[in-house]
Structure 1
């Protein structure tokens, strides 16, 4: 067994926690496939990194399965009782108005019914044990607890997650009970059974205007991934309600505008991306959202040039807003046949601050636009624009999956890693480790964060913030599988506590 930031093998996983990577690898070694291992890792991460995703949040998947590309989206809608006018007036970041129906367990259910080989109780066993018997907190959970305290101490969050420090021993028997019920009664107990009734009751007690029908009506779905060909590369991303199109627009600009002409450490390279990023995010904010509310066919605007044409034609102007890198967890799993990228999130650290069944519940509703008249404007029974997305790339016999924690900045982080591999010729491990820059206020304010290992640009109109190495520019995992040799390289970001394990 190899325990490093980069591992090669015929089967393995790279996640943000050694415990999750270990659980996934053990499932693979017992004869489970990549989808079995995915559920095991997802459940463990829900317990040991509750700030970044879990049963109270959403989930998405992008996988290479044989000759096919599988994409599944399970993001929830706002409740039927959601008050859009109140939301627009208050513009909340946390609290009951921001809670949307959680989709992660529905995604588990799809995998169980269509792909998994092992029983659900086996897949959830590691997570149940960790929740019931406890685990030692790492730095990421402790940091999230400390930073969330000023904002969340007035919510139920404080009973469960306040005061966690590095090395704290964390026990969550309520979460263990929830997982045991799902393991014994089935995943749909979460949406239709007594567990669903308890969930609705607990959320209502905390001010969420949600009913059992909101849970019962939730459906994730297999979706057609966005697809873009560039030379000998075929790129895949998740469609709306995600921001996957933004990733493809940025990557296409790399080629359309020949931005690869700048050496990697040239400060002019940082400045060259300013207008491209602003245009791509303006397109996102104006035209993307719940597909049922969109007026454009995003498949026609996957290149930067097409996106700019529509912006010019519409005469629309984006607003200057504050964007954020938020807590999410992404991981990759490989079994020799299938390569899976999986992402789950609560949006902000610990989501809304509300807790039910032992798990934090997401504040994904905070992703709605703050004004009416847009595809992403708030409304009842509507999916907000989702920051979660996953990049897949096919070239010859190689299949790449790239993903990260990064919130609104995710398309830029995907771009940086893609650029490092396919423009600058870096090995995937070096591509993940290499210093990044991110436009953290891409529309209007033009503030760019540059990791200290890069040379810093100086130009009026662009505010440059130099940051240290740790985590402020995303936490990435990459997998590269050779489908002919049936061997993969799995890479975890040195900025994170992540571990790649393979055999």
Structure 2
């Protein structure tokens, strides 16, 4: 009866009561949250989630579980992430209540500059060319997380990934659907690694990658040096040089991830955290600041008014992000101003509720950002003590370049495709510079409730974060319901085009069209709007909750109790 009373009170006062937020579901919610006093791993592939949960059962914490799950993800979903990509994370330390941000995005080779490319006749970045391969940051990110917060050795954390790479695993449904990248068939090492015998694996077909197992074993034995300062490094550099790259052993050896302070804003009493630039998380905060000026709850969930506000807020927030964000080590980024309520007040006044804006604040930037990268993985973990990891990892566009160095078993990212070749801009190419990044983990909290969440998908991510937050805060949904809801995405930076899942009602779509939005319809639970996970800690009751997006092969899997 007490539980029912709490739930009823919450429905009557969505924006003021926090402790009961987990109990509010919505009609048609496809699955229940996972609820336990022990740990949970929510990942976009069930083998990875299970591996992380097993690490918790072996005595590891949320950080250990996140590393183990991420390593397995690189084996079972190489078309979105792996050792050749980058990594970002937010760690919530339960005993102190502090947040720690990790930026392990790689930099360009020191010798790769605009002048170098122009001297070699290159005036446009090939999205799968060797010039897009930055130094991968994933392994350094694992090392930084484990060194600061982990409790178990790499040999234990990487054991599940090594097993699946060496012994194989049968492909799940979405594995098979996205496995083949036809545009990469001629990339060196791609077919040999991912299409055994030249045949695309189908659902249930077993896939092995013994070369990747060997690379993981080297890291398990020698730590980060195996990747950045050892024989594997020399193999990678020799291969990249043969493709025309400028990479050196020193570029790998000198790379270090960076611990950063998360940035934040408030949204109707909640505090929302993202990582600072060079990522796009600042756009999610700016969107929420603009949305706060409108009565979203009164409009109704996924109504024409609510969607119109969010789509228009996206355009305004992304315009500023596009203009100002780059690697802050090279160009100052006005973070304080960009997340200020004062700027949001001015931007909100630009929204016409009756008409979509097909062009927002004029920009003097000549070259449009490439919306090429839309594939990433996001996972979140929580342990019995309430520590949370919000982690995201990516190759940028699918397999990235699709290039695989002999004997390594993983493809190199193409994150450098996001650079611009016009000098003097925040995101202009330079040596040892990190590009404007799409991948962003997130965190939100109010009172006793702490949520680690994220939704992958290129430039979709910041706008998807804002939609998730609105689902929780404005519409009182639990995290599972919030992840399941139909979403929109606008991958471009100009125009009135917007992609919307077909589960948005037809009358709502018609009203948006009337206001000038050019709607491109997506299938239900579309890959284009991203896949997300979320974990929740209720510190008052010491209870953990989690949700997993049905747009993936993923699950939220709880830790089993040990009986020893």
Range class of TM-score, shorter chain: over 0.9
Q: Among 486, 495, 504, which residue is 1:445 paired with?
A: 495
Q: After superposition, what is the alpha-carbon deviation per residue over 1:430-450, rounded to whole angstroms, capped at 9, x for unaligned?
A: 111111112232x32221111
Deviates more, 1:242-251 or 1:287-296: 287-296
- Residue of 224, 231, 251 corresponding to 1:187: 224
Report the equivalent of 1:465: 520
TM-score, L = length of structure 2: 0.84
Alpha-carbon distance in 2 for matches of 1:224, 1:475:
26
Partner of 2:46: 18
The equivalent residue for 1:113 is 147
In structure 2, relative to structure 1, the CA distance for the partners of 1:228 and 1:272 (3 Å cut) is closer
Query: SS where residue 397 of structure 2 aligns?
Result: coil
State the Cα distance separating 1:460 from its structure 2 match: 5.9
Map Cα deviations across residues 25-81 of structure 1 (whole Å, 9 max, x no partner).
Answer: 111011111111111111111111111111101111112112111111101111123
User: 1:351: which partner in 2?
Assistant: 400
State the match for 1:8 in structure 2: 35
Deviation string 1:131-180 (CA, Å, 9 cap, x unpaired) is 0111112233333333x113443432121123233222111111111111
Give the alignment of 1:108-257 within 5 angstroms.
108-146=142-180, 148-162=181-195, 163-257=200-294
Gaps of 5+ in 1: none
- What is the CA–CA distance in structure 2 between the aligned matches of 1:150 and 1:325, rounded to whole Å? 14
User: What is the rounded CA distance, in whole Å, between the counterparts of 1:276 and 1:307 in structure 2?
Assistant: 9
Q: Which has the higher strand share?
A: 1
Residue 146 (structure 2) pairs with residue 90 (structure 1): no
Structure 2 vs 1, CA of residues 56 and 230 (structure 1 numbering), >3 Å: closer, same or farther? same
Q: Secondary structure at the match of 2:42?
A: strand
Q: TM-score scaled to structure 1, two decimals?
A: 0.93
Q: CA separation of 1:217/1:450 partners in 2, compared to 1, >3 Å: closer, same or farther? A: same
| Local SS of the residue matching 2:83 | coil
Deviation at 1:123, TM superposition (A): 0.9
Match of 1:41 in 2: 69
The worse-fitting range, judged by mean Cα deviation, of 415-424 and 151-160 is 151-160
Partners of 1:5 and 1:494 within 8 A in 2: no
Q: Distance in 2 between matches of 1:304 and 1:58?
A: 32
Give the conservation status (yes or no) of the 8 Å contact 2:89–2:391: yes
Q: Is the 8 A contact 1:74 1:103 kept in 2?
A: yes
Judge conservation of contact 1:203–1:354 (CA < 8 Å) in 2. Answer: no
Matched, 1:273 2:297: no
* Distance in 2 of aligned mates of 1:296 and 1:461: 33
Give the Cα–Cα distance (whole angstroms) in 2 for the partners of residues 64 and 372 of structure 1: 38
The equivalent position to 2:447 in structure 1, one of 377, 383, 396, is 396
Matched, 1:481 2:537: yes
Encode CA deviations 1:239-281: one digit per residue, 9 max, x unaligned. Answer: 0110110010011111124444421142233233343222111
Q: 2:558 aligns to what?
A: 502
The equivalent of 1:326 in structure 2 is 374
Question: Structure 1 residue 73 and structure 2 residue 103: aligned?
Answer: yes
Task: Write the mapping of 1:45-60 to structure 2, written as runs, cut at 5 A.
Answer: 45-60=73-88
CA contact (8 A) 2:443 2:453 kept: yes
Q: Distance in 1 between matches of 2:178 and 2:283?
A: 28
SS in 2 for 1:359: coil
- Aligned equivalents of 1:52, 1:432: Cα separation in 2: 20
Q: CA deviation at 1:190?
A: 1.1
Quote the Cα distance in structure 2 between the aligned partners of 1:127 and 1:111.
Answer: 18
CA shift in 2, pair 1:273/1:30, >3 Å: closer
Report the Cα distance in structure 2 between the residues aligned to 1:253 and 1:324, rounded to whole angstroms. Answer: 27
Of 473, 487, 497, the match for 1:436: 487
Partner of 1:472, secondary structure, is helix
Matches for 1:362-377 after TM superposition, within 5 Å: 362-369=413-420, 371-377=422-428
Does residue 405 (structure 1) correspond to residue 445 (structure 2)? The answer is no
| Maintained 8 Å contact 1:325/1:472 | no
Which residue in the other structure is 2:27 paired with? Answer: none
Structure 2 counterpart of 1:492, from 548, 551, 555: 548
Distance 1:461 1:310 in 2: 19
Structure 2: segments with no counterpart, 5+ residues: 1-30, 351-360, 560-564
Q: What RMSD in Å do the two structures reach over aligned CA positions?
A: 2.2
Q: CA deviation at 1:420?
A: 0.6
Cα 1:364/1:371, change in 2 over 3 Å:
same
Q: Relative to structure 2, which stretch is displaced further, 344-353 or 187-196?
A: 187-196
Structure 1's 265 and 111: CA in aligned 2 closer, same or farther, altered over 3 A? closer
Provide the rounded CA distance (Å) in 2 between the counterparts of 1:184 and 1:316. Answer: 50
For residues 182 and 103 of structure 1, the distance between their equivalents in structure 2, rounded to whole angstroms, comes to 14
How many residues are aligned here? 497
Asked if the contact 2:188/2:403 (under 8 Å) is kept, the reply is yes
Label 1:278 to 1:167 Cα distance change in 2 as closer, same or farther (>3 A): same
